Amino acid sequence: MSLFSRERRSSAVALVGFAAVLGPLLGPPLGGFLTDQFGWPSIFFINVPLGFLSLWLISRHLGFADRPRREPLDLGGAGFLAGAVISLQLGCGHDAIFLVPAGLLAALFVIRERKARAPTVDLSVLRHRRLCGTLIAAPLYGFALYASLFLAPLLLERRLGLSAAHAGLAMAAGAVAGGAFILGARPLLARVSAHTLNGAGALLFAASMLLLARLAFHPAGDIYLPQILRGAGTGLLYVGMNGFAFEDMPDGEVATSASLFYLLRQLGGSAGVALCALALDRIGEAGMPATFAGLALAAPLALVPMAVARRERRFAAPEAGAA
C-alpha cells in the first residue's frame, strides 16, 4: 500500500489480490494430486522451496531499502499482540479458558501502543469511520471465507465421495470467479459504489453457502455452481471492502490501516476454521448442513458495521459543512 502512489495503488492491490487468488486456483488441484500420489505430508514440503523463492523475490524487487529509516520496532507491543493472537487461536480451537489471557494481552497491547513512541500499530487511524466499520466487518468476512474453504473439501470428499484431485478442481472454479472480479477492481469501483459491490458479494456468498448446505443434506447436484458463486462473492467483497475503507485514506496512513484490515481478516479466518473443526468433532458430519447455513449469515452480517459507518458519515458531512 505504501510503496505505490495513489494513482497506481488500485492496480497494485488488484494484482496482489489476483496473486492471492492463484493460491486457491492452483493449490487445491496440486494438493489433491500430491495427496493422491505421495500422501498428505507432501502438501507441506512443497511450501519450503516456494517460501524461499518468495523471500528472494521480495528482497530483489520491492524497494524497502529506499525508504527512510524509522524508529526501532516496539518489541513489547509486538509481544503483547503475538500473545493475544496465539491465545485467541488456542481459545477457539482447544479450550475457552485461553480467551481470558487473549483479552488481557489485547488490552495491554492497546495501552502500550497508545503510549509508545514508535508503536507497532498506530491506533490513531481508528478515527476514520469508514476504516472502523471495515475493521469490525473484516473478522466476519475472514470467518466466512476461510471456514468455507475449510469445509468445502470435506463436503466434496467425505459426503460426495470425490477424489482429492477432483475436489481440488471444483475448488479452483471458485478461484477463477474470484480472480476475475479482483482483476476488474479498478473499473468496477469507477462505475459502481463500494457499498453496492459489498451487497452483491454478500448476496452471492450467502447463496453459495445455502447451495452447499443443500448438498450436505442431500448429496446430489451441481458441485461447480456453489464454488463459482462463492468465488464471485468473496471477490466482490474483497474489492468493495478495500474501496470502502481506503478511498479517502491519507497516503501516510494507508499502510497501517491495510495491515490492521488484513490482520483482523486473518484472525477471523483462523477462528472460523478452529470453530468449524471443533463443531465437526463435537456433532459430527451430520451438523455440516447447519454449519453451511450458519456461514450464509456471516457475509451479510459483515455489511452492518460498514452500513452504520456510511450512514454516520452521511449525517456528519452536512454538519461539518455548516460548521
**Residue spans per domain, the chain:** 18-37+128-318, 71-117
Mean pLDDT, range 58-68, rounded to an integer: 67
pLDDT for position 80: 92
**Residue 84 scores a pLDDT above 60:** yes
Whole-angstrom distance, CA of residue 120 vs CA of residue 26:
34
For 110, 131, 168, 213, the CA distances from 104, given in Å and listed in that order, are 10, 24, 40, 37
Whole-angstrom distance, CA of residue 207 vs CA of residue 226:
8
**40: number of Cβ within 10 Å:** 11
CA neighbor of 256 nearest in space, from 123, 137, 68, 57: 123
Considering 101-115, 187-201, 253-267, the range whose residues carry the highest mean pLDDT is: 101-115
More confident residue, 317 or 242: 242
Q: Which CATH architecture has domain 18-37+128-318?
A: Up-down Bundle (1.20)
Whole-angstrom distance, CA of residue 127 vs CA of residue 125:
5
pLDDT for position 71: 64
pLDDT for position 216: 83
More confident residue, 115 or 220: 115
**Residue 7 scores a pLDDT above 80:** no
Quickly tell me which residue has 488481557 as its cell: 104
Mean pLDDT, range 39-52, rounded to an integer: 89
Cα dihedral across residues 187, 210, 283, 151: positive or negative: negative
- How close are the terminal C-alpha atoms of the chain, in Å? 33
Whole-angstrom distance, CA of residue 50 vs CA of residue 52:
6
Q: Write down the H helix ranges in the chain.
A: 6-38, 42-45, 47-61, 75-93, 99-115, 129-154, 164-183, 185-191, 194-217, 224-246, 251-283, 288-322
What is the value of pTM for the model shown?
0.76
Give the pLDDT confidence of 220-258 residue by residue, as tens digits: 778 888 888 888 888 888 888 888 887 777 777 887 888
User: What angle separates helix 129-154 from helix 194-217, to the nearest 10 degrees?
Assistant: 20
pLDDT for position 283: 76
Where residue 3 falls among pLDDT bands split at 50, 70, 90? confident
C-alpha cell at 193: 459504489
Average pLDDT, the chain: 81
More confident residue, 127 or 83: 83
Quickly tell me which residue has 510503496 as its cell: 3
Q: Are 239 and 197 in contact (CB under 8 A)?
A: yes
Mean pLDDT, range 112-127, rounded to an integer: 82
Where residue 125 falls among pLDDT bands split at 50, 70, 90? confident
Rg (CA), the chain: 21
Residue type, 322: A
Enter the DSSP assignment of 97.
G
Give the pLDDT confidence of 169-210 residue by residue, as tens digits: 888 777 777 777 777 666 777 787 888 888 888 999 999 999
pLDDT for position 204: 92
pLDDT for position 312: 63
Enumerate long-range contacts of 160-167, CB under 8 Å, 24 or more apart.
160/215, 160/219, 160/223, 162/223, 163/32, 163/36, 164/31, 164/32, 164/33, 164/35, 164/36, 165/29, 165/32, 165/33, 165/35, 165/36, 166/32, 167/28, 167/32
Quickly tell me which residue has 464471485 as its cell: 232
Whole-angstrom distance, CA of residue 174 vs CA of residue 296:
16
Whole-angstrom distance, CA of residue 103 vs CA of residue 80:
11
